Structure 1
């Protein structure tokens, strides 16, 4: 599926859980629950939790653009 990415995802490898909530159209609390249950892919870096963009897009049925592709 070829779609235009929201500007906040363009060129980024990870986003915050709050940004992922906006992309998914759910509340921040629901997004953190999804991270805790493993429904939303995430990485913990120190005390911070980030959501990798490529797996998030695949979760939505969107094939992420290749890195460096124009």
Structure 2
């Protein structure tokens, strides 16, 4: 019984490993336009910017938050 369960598990895994997924990208259809991305410094990373002098701090923040 145990060998049958093992064989079924192997066959199920092999079937998943051999299956293929097809992805189609239609470049003729525009669904959504994205205008820039944002960044969160929510988990204590702001201290890295606070320790900088004003020039590099402004440059880093402009790089992260400007569009």
TM range (shorter): under 0.3
- TM-score relative to the length of structure 1: 0.21
Larger strand proportion of the pair: 1
The TM-score, its normalising length taken from structure 2, stands at 0.22
More helix by share: 2
